[in-house]
Amino acid sequence: MSSAKEKAMQYFKEGYNCSQSVVLAFSDKLGIDAETALKLSSSFGGGMGRLREVCGAVTGMFIVVGILYGYSNPNDQVAKAAHYELIQKLAKEFKDANHSIICRELLGLPEGPDNSTPSARTKQYYVERPCEELVGMAAEIVEKLIDN
């Protein structure tokens, strides 16, 4: 695997959730080990614990960007505003390509949380869901940011 997009898509196919797949694809650049990357992002699959809110791939993208480019001084309003501007730009890029950043909208699911039990990763699961492509796109957006 060479690109972050390919890595993220492969991790998703291995069973990691959307957020984990994106964060794990960048763990070497984040200076954190794989287990920490996976635990840090584990709550955000299924649109945040299967609540079907913000897409896990988008959340993973934000985690990576926060670690790489985030601010740490709560009084630095300039850095805070610049970071939020970057996050909004990345969200817009994802949304422009996919019509939404909300998990349930991306999957065509009804309003409200899903049950807490993850769906079995069958062949049909991968045929019916765009998640693999979405994690690839999120990773590609971050990789493009890093490369520029």
pTM attached to this predicted model: 0.95
pLDDT in tens, 100-136: 999 999 999 999 888 899 989 999 998 899 999 999 9
pLDDT in tens, 9-50: 999 999 999 999 999 999 999 999 999 999 999 999 999 999
CA distances from 16 to 33, 42, 63, 112, 144 (A): 16, 9, 16, 23, 23
Strand partners, 54: 102
54: phi then psi, degrees, rounded to nearest 5:
-60, 130
pLDDT of residue 2 exceeding 90, the answer is no
CA distances from 54 to 38, 41, 65, 101, 143 (A): 18, 13, 16, 6, 20
102: phi then psi, degrees, rounded to nearest 5:
-95, 125
Total domains in the fold of the chain = 1
**Closest by CA position to 61, among listed 28, 94, 14:** 94
pLDDT at residue number 17:
98
CA atoms within 13 A on the CB side of 28: 7
pLDDT at residue number 1:
46
Mean pLDDT of 88-104: 98
Domain holding 115, by residue range, is 4-147
pLDDT of residue 76 exceeding 70, the answer is yes
